[in-house]
Structure 1
Amino acid sequence: MKTNTIITIGRQYGSGGKEIGHFVAEAFGIKLYDKEMLARAAKESGICEELFETHDEKPTNSFLYSLVMDTYSMGYAGNTYTEMPINHKVFLAQFDAIKKIADEGPCVLVGRCADYALESYPNVVSIFIRADMEDRIRRVATRLDLTDAKAKDLINKTDKKRASYYNYYTNKKWGEAASYELCLNSSELGVQGTAKAIEQYILLKESIEKEARNIV
């Protein structure tokens, strides 16, 4: 299958969002970017990659923390970013990297406010993946060899960080249907079924858009 669409995926922790993204990318023969976005942003901005990992989907409102981290980053940052707190430098560098990746063609971008970065692009489908808590606990507990209680605690903490990051840097609300084009519960169709639903949605949308262009 071929597509001209850029797909962004927001996801609850343990919902299988990244795995779903891999299936979609494989079906369309396009690349998936997850932490690769961080490496790309670090390389192009000159900010050390460790700082991107430290701030990855984790906002901070602490001015003191920003000053400390800003001092740590001296020598890594390019002139473009030197006058602002390090958390903003990291976000903007990542923002720029996401746009450059999208300019290269169709792809799947997981997390990191990619839907917000690309909201002016006409060929983007923004998706949010959620799942029932029982399924998320089972997935995380199995993958990380945790008790159910520890898995649930990790899920809640990770979701809180992702929501805070998204809400802090965008004008939208993480996980709310109005913030995305398509919201799916992976507990209903399973990981592969959810990926198939996304593929069919994109193909149908592209077909409708093509017919509309031909009529015009």
Structure 2
Amino acid sequence: MSKTHTIITIGRQFGSGGREIGKRLADELGIEFYDKELLSRAAKDSKICKELFETHDEKPTNSFLYSLVMDTYSMGFASGSVNEMPLNHKIFLAQFDAIKKIAEEGPCVLVGRCADYALEERDDVLSVFIHADLEDRIKNVAKLNELTDNKAKDLIHKTDKRRASYYNYYTNKKWGDAESYDICINSSKFGVDGCVKAIKDFLELEASLEE
């Protein structure tokens, strides 16, 4: 298979292990991995303060009050003159550009941030969505963040709602909907190793069909 032309984007439910699966996949394929690293790259390229990318990271953007507050906060951070475009749109476009530049540089795994949408016109992209049973996600989040099950469940619902709002707002697709991705995998059923193998097997199959 031609791994030199492989870009995998991963959408994920909170607590499903999507990041771990993406990192493991990148390591096994010997390609670059971007999650939070994408924010640093976008901040560097756009010369907008990195903290603003972190504050806006996969957050819903259709709140006028939120935008107003953040625009006021950012006045001293954003470089150059402040134009009429809301800050959250500037942040998204900077990430959008960074994703496209990263993809041009070679094979990689990109987690979240509407990467599948940003790269939808490329023919070397495999878009994946990782989901899992709620009970397993609660256990994962509770353990990782030292929370009670109830607090972990609440955090899961809030995070998923935020990610869905962000994705649905900026793309023409629906977050978590099977039609929005090439493949969807249940990590509760396959585990991290199984998910990584399934994605690699899919890439091999895809490559063989192109020969």
Q: TM-score band, normalised by the shorter chain?
A: over 0.9
Q: Is residue 199 of structure 2 the alignment partner of residue 187 of structure 1?
A: no
Question: C-alpha separation between the residues in 2 aligned to 1:142 and 1:29?
Answer: 29
The number of aligned residues is: 210
Structure 1: which amino acid aligns with 2:105? E
1:33 matches 2:34: yes
Structure 2 equivalent of residue 13 of structure 1: 14
Alignment match, 1:115: 116
Partner of 1:23: 24
Unmatched runs of 5 consecutive residues or more in structure 2: none
SS at match of 1:15: coil
Question: Which amino acid is 1:52 matched to?
Answer: F
| DSSP-derived class of the 1:183 partner | strand
TM-score by length of 1: 0.92
The answer for the alignment partner of 2:162 in structure 1 is 161
Q: Which amino acid counterpart does residue 170 of structure 1 have in structure 2?
A: T
Cα separation, 2, equivalents of 1:2 and 1:34: 24
| Partners of 1:199 and 1:19 in 2: CA distance | 15
Distance 2:65 2:164 in 1: 22
The sequence identity of aligned pairs, in percent, is 70
RMSD of the alignment, in Å? 1.6
Query: Superposed, which structure 2 residues align to 1:45-124 within 5 Å?
Result: 45-78=46-79, 82-124=83-125
Q: Distance in 2 between matches of 1:44 and 1:91?
A: 13
Distance in 1 between residues matched to 2:64 and 2:153, nearest whole Å: 31
Cα distance, 1:168 vs structure 2: 0.5
Q: Quote the Cα distance in structure 2 between the aligned partners of 1:132 and 1:80.
A: 47
CA distance, structure 2, for counterparts of residue 100 and residue 186 of structure 1? 30
The separation in 1 between residues aligned to 2:89 and 2:172, in whole angstroms, is: 16
Q: CA deviation at 1:25?
A: 0.4
Seen in structure 2, the aligned counterparts of structure 1 residues 80 and 116 have a Cα distance that, compared at 3 Å, is farther
Q: Distance in 1 between matches of 2:182 and 2:82?
A: 32
Deviation at 1:79, TM superposition (A): 5.3
Unaligned segments of structure 1, at least 5 residues: 212-216
- Checking the alignment, whether the CA contact within 8 Å between 1:24 and 1:195 is kept in structure 2 is yes
